[in-house]
Structure 1
Amino acid sequence: MSERLRMILVGALLVSGVVAYFLIPASMAAYQLAAVLAGALLATAVFLTSERGRMVIAFSREAMAETMKVVWPTRKEVVQTTGVIMLMVSIMAIFLWLVDFGLLWLVRLIMRQET
């Protein structure tokens, strides 16, 4: 089956699950859910057998391998870094408040002199 036909089939399976959801009466909510899930699962199965699906699987495996290579920080490093960030945010907030207060004072001074 060609790649294009597989993608059309994937879309058709997804749409058929949604259409079935709306065709089944609301009193049969379990069947509605089953229809949507069946359409999604079948579409996923068809997608994963396609070339694009194999590329997604390969990418996922490579991403997991890269994740394993990451050197994660220790708890102590995370706490220290968080503390430094909170300190810098506080310092910047105070600085910006002082600048805002100074500019407000300057504008009020200028406005008083003009009247």
Structure 2
Amino acid sequence: MADKLKFVLALLLVAAGVAGFYLLSEQVLVLRVLAVLAGVMAGAATAWFTEPGQRFAVFVRETVTEAKKVVWPSRKETVQMTGVVFAFVVAMALFLWLTDKSLEWVLYDLVLNWK
């Protein structure tokens, strides 16, 4: 129950930040954006201290750990694979263009005699 109340408080803080943006409509834009950021940060800080918030923090840490285990391709591999993709796209575009023109010729010139 306490976690639900904390989440409601977090949502109210975010809503207060958004409301501050509109209530400060006569002020400079920087102050209005800071009001929204303050509301979002206060809401996030409040949500952080809930049990689901702590589980989310553990999930983020585990995600970062798993991302560090990934073997990322080298620059050379990336450039080569990009070249392969571009070559495939060009080949597929030529194939589709030829297919389209062939069907156009068959239908309009041979079948319908439209010239």
Structure-1 residue corresponding to 2:64: 64
Structure-to-structure mapping, 1:85-104, within 5 angstroms: 85-104=85-104
**Displaced runs of 4 or more, over 6 A:** none
Distance 1:86 1:30 in 2: 44
Distance 1:84 1:32, change over 3 A: closer
Structure-2 residue corresponding to 1:105: 105
Task: Determine what percentage of the aligned residue pairs are the same residue.
Answer: 38
The answer to whether 1:14 aligns with 2:14 is yes
TM-score, reference length from structure 2: 0.88
Structure 2 unmatched ranges of 5 or more:
none
Alignment RMSD: 1.7
Deviations 1:37-94 (A, max 9, x none): 2211110100111112111111111111111110111111111111111111111111
Structure-1 residue corresponding to 2:77: 77
Count the aligned residue pairs.
Answer: 113
Structure-2 residue corresponding to 1:52: 52
SS in structure 2 at match of 1:72: coil
SS in structure 2 at match of 1:112: coil
TM-score, reference length from structure 1: 0.88
Distance 1:41 1:79 in 2: 40
Distance 1:64 1:16 in 2: 32
Amino acid at match of 2:77: E
